[in-house]
Amino acid sequence: MKPFALLFALLAPEASLIDGFQNAGDWTASASDGVVARVSPVDGATGLALRLDYDFGTVSGYALVAPRTAGVCQQLEALVRLLSSG
């Protein structure tokens, strides 16, 4: 194991489950103008997972999946702040 990987493993916060993706209805797909996006449930390694289908057609842009519930948004925001606090 490389030294920086070991350091990261030792300093990483304890893992916690933010969402198990058991209900795809808790998530919404969004996309830029001209892009089509759809989220659906699929079988995962240990339960369900999310699938993002997208079609950029003839444009460039983006497609994303975001949680519908404020609780998941707050947990994700806290995780990003923790990881980016350096």
The four Cα atoms 16, 19, 20, 22 give a dihedral, to 10 degrees, of 170
Q: Which two tokens stand for residue 76?
A: 């994700």
The four Cα atoms 73, 76, 80, 81 give a dihedral, to 10 degrees, of 70
Q: Write out pLDDT tens, residues 30-76.
A: 999 999 999 999 998 888 888 999 999 999 999 988 888 766 667 66
- The pLDDT assigned to 1 comes to 46
- The pLDDT assigned to 32 comes to 95
- In 3D, which of 65, 69, 52, 64 has the Cα closest to residue 18? 69
- The pLDDT assigned to 73 comes to 66
- The pLDDT assigned to 36 comes to 96
Q: Write out pLDDT tens, residues 4-25.
A: 555 556 666 666 666 777 788 8
